[in-house]
Structure 1
Amino acid sequence: MQITPVTPARLVDEVVELVDARPGRVRLALDGPPPTRPLALAERVADELRTRGRMAVVVSAGDFLRPASLRLEFGREDPDEFLDGWLDAGGLCREVLDPAGPGGSGRVLPRLWDAVADRAHRDRYVELPADGVVLLAGALLLGRGLPVDLSVHLEMSAAALSRTLPDDERWTLPAYGRYAEERTPEAEADLVVLSDHPDRPAVRR
């Protein structure tokens, strides 16, 4: 195992190179807890892909949560439900990952559910070309059978996560602990990025 420190710009290049190595449409998951900023990385990767002539659509897992009546059935701070029951995996597959896959229509819906207003987004479908890229960004994405072609895991130690999570999100810590132990996302990912200090990432090869 080799650990290579990289700049944030070089990390973007590494992810782009992963995508460019695959022909056709690509579904890429960028997985990490909020302090690792997976959505920001997805946006930077998408910008670089567009400069290279590939259409890229960024999808936040936070826009594919189940309605509050379902995800908060056992309370607002249930870590087990946060891990297993918050993400609308069915909706994500139906509206994004399956259409973006081989033989899919290419017609994807970037946002499905507004979790703050607890109602459906009024978003428009996007037509993904034959070489288009979907970048799915969020936490706790791996090890649940989502049909993605590539994945990047932004790994943060338990100590760093405890130190950086806002106070009102600390109740999620047991969920991240279970995720690391039971789903071993680093074993599934195509690229593992050590992200205790997101501005100073390192790639584990």
Structure 2
Amino acid sequence: MDQATRSEFIRRPAAAISSVTATHPLRVAIDGPPASGKTTLTDELAVVLGAQGRDVIRATIDDFLVPRAWRYRRGRYSAEGCYLDAHDHAALCRVLLDPLGPGGDRMFRPAVLDGDTDTPSSAPATTAPADAVLLFDGVFLLRPELVDRWDLRIFVSVPYELTVERAKDRGTASAGPTSDTADTARTTTTARTAELERSWRKRYIPAQQLYFATAHPTDHADIIVYNDQLERPTWDVRPRSPIYGI
């Protein structure tokens, strides 16, 4: 396990990604619980790799949701619904992972659903350079339907209780002033925080526990990033990883 300041740390997984060779675009999964920091990490890696001249395809599981009615068919707070019903894995493989994989034509689409409008995405098909790298963040990426379609697998690990606190901090910060009166704003913020905590404890954390019990994602990870301390993350490269020993 290694430790460094965040700016120093980001260069290390970026170098690890660059060390992996493939005859097709490299497909990198950045998995982890909600609010673990995986999206921020993925964005940071994209900046470093892009600055090195690498063609980066940036995509996320949030653009492969299924329509809202199906996503919540088991109930708004169902953990089983979160794990089993939320994402269109078949479409993810069909339009993105398989075209970029061995034998693929490299013509891909980065999204299938606009989550804001709950309508099909209009993202056009694009042809990737053969040496491009796909940086894909999201939840449940190392499940059986997807695990073999990644060329490098990163899991961002954070204690569940810390993800709850981060989610509440993020929700409060993004809420901003919601009324001309401070009392109304405080009431709205309190309600939003309560809703966030309920969602985490009823849906998101139990869904992660179900994921770990059935898919054992860290057993399949090449790199585990321990992101408890945002400014000083640590990482562990697994012996089975193609980058072990770098």
Q: Which residue of 1 aligns with 2:165?
A: 163
Q: Which residue of 1 aligns with 2:220?
A: 188
Q: Which residue of 2 aligns with 1:135?
A: 135
1:4 to 2, 5, 26: 2
Q: What letter corresponds to residue 153 of structure 1 in structure 2?
A: F
Deviation at 1:115, TM superposition (A): 1.9
Instruction: Tell me if the contact between 1:82 and 1:175 (Cα under 8 Å) persists in the aligned partners.
Output: yes
Deviation at 1:201, TM superposition (A): 1.0
Deviations 1:13-53 (A, max 9, x none): 22222221222320000011232221222122122222222
Unaligned segments of structure 1, at least 5 residues? none
Deviating more after overlay: 42-51 vs 26-35: 42-51
Q: Which residue of 2 aligns with 1:33?
A: 33
Q: Which residue of 2 aligns with 1:58?
A: 58
Deviations 1:96-139 (A, max 9, x none): 10011112111111121012211012112222111011111012
- CA RMSD between the two structures: 1.7
Instruction: Tell me if the contact between 1:6 and 1:203 (Cα under 8 Å) persists in the aligned partners.
Output: no
Determine which structure has more spread, i.e. the larger CA radius of gyration: 2
1:179 partnered with 2:211: yes
Deviating more after overlay: 54-63 vs 123-132: 123-132
1:198 partnered with 2:230: yes
Distance 2:163 2:209 in 1: 10
TM-score (normalizing by structure 2) = 0.77
Q: Which residue of 1 aligns with 2:171?
A: none
Deviation at 1:197, TM superposition (A): 2.6
**Greater percentage in helix:** 2
Q: What letter corresponds to residue 164 of structure 1 in structure 2?
A: R
Q: Percent identity?
A: 27
Deviation at 1:54, TM superposition (A): 1.6
Matches within 5 A, 1:8-27: 8-24=6-22, 25-27=25-27
Unaligned segments of structure 2, at least 5 residues? 169-193, 238-246
Residue aligned with 1:173, SS = helix
TM-score (normalizing by structure 1) = 0.91
Q: What letter corresponds to residue 189 of structure 1 in structure 2?
A: A
